[in-house]
Structure 1
Amino acid sequence: MRGTTTIDDGLHDFLGVRDRLLRIARGIAGPDAEDVVQDAWLRWNGTDRTVVRDAPAFLSRTTTRLSLTRTQTAYARHQSPVGLCPPDPGGRGDDPAALAVAADELRGAMALLLARLGPRERVAYLLREAFALPYRQIAGLLGVSEAHARQLTRRARARLAAPGDGQVSSVDQHGLLAAFSEVSRTGDPAALVSLAA
């Protein structure tokens, strides 16, 4: 009974944000959006949900990461940029090797954001797509109008979808990854906002 309740609760949480997840995936991965959302469901279904504090934020972040990984993988198949994209590892559990692969994926996603987006675009994009903040709040954090916050996010999506490459400083990559991890852990966007200057 308890197992069924957990599965039902997880399905309810997932279906409650599925439309948002599809919007995130379409904005990043385009035609692969449905596959990305299915992967997010599989990841969610295999997650110990008792340790998840905010299901919508967790699912949005997972979908963003999966979308970025899929975009990188597709780009790598066509362009083969050296060091930009790790191979798609397929299914993972919670073992140390799987966690290392997930960490590599996240580092690759941060490198892609650094290579393609300006500081404000990066921050606006992550706050919207990974943490599902409303545009009004993003605008307030960045000190811009709501329309400008929307424009920053739209521009970021377009640049991520376009082919391109660039050099990424390991210091910048570490800084963005640390800020992203801090916001994921605390829910306070200040660490990312500080990188928008």
Structure 2
Amino acid sequence: MALALRVLGDPGEAQDVVQEAWLRWRREDRSGVINAPAFLATTTTRLAINVAQSARKRRETVAGPWLPEPVDRQADPAVTVERHDALDGAVRLMLQKMTAPERAAYLLRKAFDYPYQRIAEILGVSGDSARQLVRRAHEGLGSGRRRVVDEAEHRRLVRIVLAAARTGNLAELEAVLRP
């Protein structure tokens, strides 16, 4: 983990690399491996370098401002409108580019800082699957795929996310995001 983290600087991506190295170790005919720690270190380092140099990583761009901070009721009304517009655009982008499970995992992780295990419990998947959903959702933001957005679903999700950010009560958001 330390090797992958040193190369990538992102704990999520580092965990993905460590998982891939472990899978390769499990598939490998270990009778020819002389030094297991060296094999794992080399495999992890090479995988991390590949991820760091991948075309996806080099072309990755920020899709725009993400979810706003909780609304300050004392703030300037123009700031409130600006934050709402940013949230509106972010939710629309998620609806266009992510599947429902990816969107749920990404929103809970990135906007509300849920741990992967809690996301897994909400979505009924394993912790590793939750981590992969977040990774695929992040990759989907940079993809060319676009789905048609149902305006009623868009307005509903914006309202629920905004209410969760304002009040800190995430029960309704969790209920909407469950499969």
Aligned to 1:64: 66
Shift of 1:111: 0.5
The unaligned stretches of length 5 or more in structure 2 are 1-8, 14-56, 69-74
Is the Cα–Cα contact under 8 Å of residues 139 and 149 in structure 1 kept in the other structure? yes
Kindly indicate which of the two structures has a greater share of residues assigned to helix: 1
TM-score w.r.t. the length of structure 2 is 0.56
Is the Cα–Cα contact under 8 Å of residues 142 and 193 in structure 1 kept in the other structure? no
TM-aligned CA distance change 1:31 to 1:170, over 3 Å: closer
Aligned to 2:154: 173
Equivalence map 1:14-163=2 (5 Å) = 30=60, 64-65=66-67, 94-163=75-144
Letter in 2 for 1:129: K
What is the rounded CA distance, in whole Å, between the counterparts of 1:31 and 1:105 in structure 2?
17
What is the rounded CA distance, in whole Å, between the counterparts of 2:122 and 2:98 in structure 1?
18
Q: CA RMSD in A?
A: 3.1
Max Rg structure:
2
Letter in 2 for 1:123: A
Is the Cα–Cα contact under 8 Å of residues 97 and 143 in structure 2 kept in the other structure? no
Shift of 1:102: 1.9
- DSSP 3-state at the match of 2:67: helix
What is the rounded CA distance, in whole Å, between the counterparts of 1:110 and 1:102 in structure 2?
12
TM-aligned CA distance change 1:190 to 1:119, over 3 Å: farther
Is the Cα–Cα contact under 8 Å of residues 180 and 191 in structure 1 kept in the other structure? no
Shift of 1:186: 3.4
Residues 140-193 of structure 1: CA deviation (Å, up to 9, x unaligned) = 122211011111111100101213333211111111112212321333432222
Question: How many residues of Structure 1 are paired with residues of Structure 2 in the alignment?
Answer: 119
Shift of 1:104: 1.3
What is the rounded CA distance, in whole Å, between the counterparts of 2:162 and 2:79 in structure 1?
18
What is the rounded CA distance, in whole Å, between the counterparts of 2:61 and 2:89 in structure 1?
21
Q: Percent identity?
A: 36
TM-score w.r.t. the length of structure 1 is 0.51
- DSSP 3-state at the match of 2:146: coil
Letter in 2 for 1:179: I
